[in-house]
């Protein structure tokens, strides 16, 4: 990599030790361009970019990209797993109880893991996951009218 240019998707995959394939490039770009997408939405976006790909191949690619630290899996209770490209920080999420929209929210306090457990039971804590539940502005407005 030269200068201050951001690495392209293929370079990001190579730097993570992953083989560069059209499907992986399309997966990573689809998730990064999306907003907390589930596997079905990601599969649709990948198909728009490269043609046919099975849902199983999408799941396998998401697993590889998540294991390599290039994607983050977010799984609010009662919701399907969603994926995002915002990695490397310990941000949290807001989830609408009505429509299911998921939105990022920065840590409430300081650097990762943002929260200190009252008793860590000997664990070396490096991440805290917080999900704030409520109604998004659209659903709040719809409910009050």
Look at residues 58, 54, 60, 139 and name the one whose alpha carbon lies nearest to residue 103: 139
Q: State the binding site for Zn(2+).
A: 96, 99, 136, 139
- Exposed/middle/buried for 129, CB within 10 Å: 0-12, 13-18, 19+? middle
Look at residues 74, 59, 75 and name the one whose alpha carbon lies nearest to residue 24: 59
Q: Are 39 and 67 spatial neighbours (Cβ–Cβ below 8 Å)?
A: no
CA atoms within 13 A on the CB side of 29: 19
Helix, coil or strand: residue 144: helix
Look at residues 30, 41, 58, 55 and name the one whose alpha carbon lies nearest to residue 100: 41
In eight-state DSSP terms, residue 51 is S
Q: State the binding site.
A: 96, 99, 136, 139
């Amino acid at each position: 990599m030269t200068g201050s240019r951001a690495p392209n998707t293929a370079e990001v995959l190579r730097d993570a030790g992953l083989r560069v394939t059209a499907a992986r490039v399309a997966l990573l770009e689809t998730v990064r361009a999306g907003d907390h997408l589930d596997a079905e939405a990601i599969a649709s976006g990948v198909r728009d970019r490269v043609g046919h790909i099975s849902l199983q191949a999408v799941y396998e690619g998401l697993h590889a990209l998540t294991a390599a630290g290039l994607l983050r899996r977010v799984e609010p209770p009662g919701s399907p797993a969603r994926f995002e490209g915002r990695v490397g920080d310990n941000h949290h999420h807001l989830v609408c109880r009505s429509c299911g929209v998921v939105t990022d929210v920065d840590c409430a306090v300081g650097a990762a893991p943002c929260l200190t457990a009252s008793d860590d039971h000997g664990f070396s804590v490096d991440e805290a996951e917080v999900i704030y539940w409520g109604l998004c502005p659209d659903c709040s407005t719809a409910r009050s009218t």
